[in-house]
Amino acid sequence: MAKEVCFILDASSFQYRAFHASKERPTFTNEGLPNYAVNLFSRMLSSLRKEHKPDYMVAAMDCKEPTFRKKLYPQYKAQREDPPVHYLQQVPGFRNVLREYHIPIYEKPGYEADDIIGTLCQRIECDVVIATGDKDMAQLVEMSGHVKIFNMNKNKIFGYWDVEKEYGVTPAHMIDYLALVGDTSDNIPGCKGVGPDGAVMLLKMFENVEDIIKNVGQISSNRYRHAIMTHIDEILLSKKLVTIDCHVPINSYQV
């Protein structure tokens, strides 16, 4: 008998995707409130259920309160503009859709949806598929097959070796890869001058960023050696920022 599967929705990612995909064709309620993103969000969930037929579904959401990452690095996501008014007006509608689908919502002030998802992956006993468009989630994928990702951007489920094919490193090295390349969308600095190809090369030579820093003299490329020596603090900070906290104090989810 096939093992049961629980889909964990990166709800915030789904919501923004629905909003940006539908904002050029806005519709409104009789009261004049926008509902176009909510309608698409509902259709996306319905399609996901029909296509993949998960046994269970749960949703993780961001909170408006500052997270531990913001406290650690005030510039974290600082370049992002405030959400559009039409998006904010539809947030209650997104939640109502999840309730109508009987999908439990998990959130915790001080943490991001990523951390909630990481924690649920540790606690849910059946196999897990994370539905997201965020590459950070690749660090959670397990070789055992217990955790996979449904990549919304490519409409494809990624297992352990699919992550390596996509990024050049396995999920076990994904945190260190992200610490080196950074993330402009989250304003995570990374190591300027290295880039994705350099990160892959260095992580084939060394175990992690700490090992790279410790053995920087062994790096043959002048460019990469200089970049690492110049940005040690940024690399170590970035690693803390990209590491998903899998021990968020939330109520356990039983399936």
Q: Identify the domain boundary among 167, 183, 205.
A: 167
Same domain, 66 and 191: no
Would residue 252 count as lying in a domain? no
The residue among 113, 84, 104, 109 whose CA lies nearest residue 14 is 113
Residue 252: what pLDDT?
59
- Would you state the pLDDT for residue 251? 75
Does 161 reside within a domain? yes
**Residues 179 and 81 reside in one and the same domain:** no
Shared domain for 161 and 210, answered yes or no, is: no
Whether 163 and 178 share a structural domain: no
Q: Is the overall model pTM greater than 0.85, yes or no?
A: yes
152 pLDDT tier (thresholds 50, 70, 90) = confident
pLDDT tens sequence across 23-39: 888 889 999 999 999 99
- Residue after which a domain boundary falls, among 148, 167, 186: 167
Counting the structural domains of the chain, the total is: 2
Are 51 and 176 in the same domain? no
Q: Can you give the CATH number for the domain in which 211 is found?
A: 1.10.150.20
What is the CATH number for 153?
3.40.50.1010
Residues 64 and 148 in one domain: yes
Query: What are the respective helix, strand and coil percentages of the chain, to the nearest 5?
Result: 50, 10, 40
- Domain with 133, as residue range(s), is 5-167
Query: Token pair of 74, please?
Result: 């005030």
- Indicate if 150 and 232 belong to the same structural domain: no
Pair 27, 34: CB distance under 8 Å: yes
Q: Could you tell me if 21 and 142 are in contact, meaning their C-beta atoms sit under 8 angstroms apart?
A: no
What are the DSSP calls for the chain, one per residue? Answer: -PPPEEEEEEHHHHHHHHHHHHTTS--B-TTS-B-HHHHHHHHHHHHHHHHH--SEEEEE---SSPPHHHHH-TTTTTTPPPPPHHHHHHHHHHHHHHHHTT--EE--TTS-HHHHHHHHHHH--SEEEEEES-GGGGGG--TTSSEEEEETTTTEEE-HHHHHHHHSS-GGGHHHHHHHH-BTTTTB---TTTHHHHHHHHHHHSSSHHHHHHTGGG---HHHHHHHHH-HHHHHHHHHHHS--S---------
Report the pLDDT value the prediction gives residue 157, as an integer from 0 to 100: 95
Q: Are 13 and 30 in the same domain? A: yes
pLDDT tens track for 184-242: 989 999 999 999 999 999 999 999 999 999 999 999 999 999 999 999 999 999 999 99
Residues 197 and 228 in one domain: yes
247 belongs to a structural domain? no
Q: Has residue 253 got a pLDDT over 60?
A: no
Is 204 contained in some domain? Answer: yes
The Cα 102–Cα 173 span in angstroms is 36
**Residues 161 and 177 grouped into a single domain:** no
The last residue of one of the domains, among 115, 140, 167, is: 167
Sign of the dihedral defined by the CA atoms of residues 116, 122, 123, 125, in that order: positive
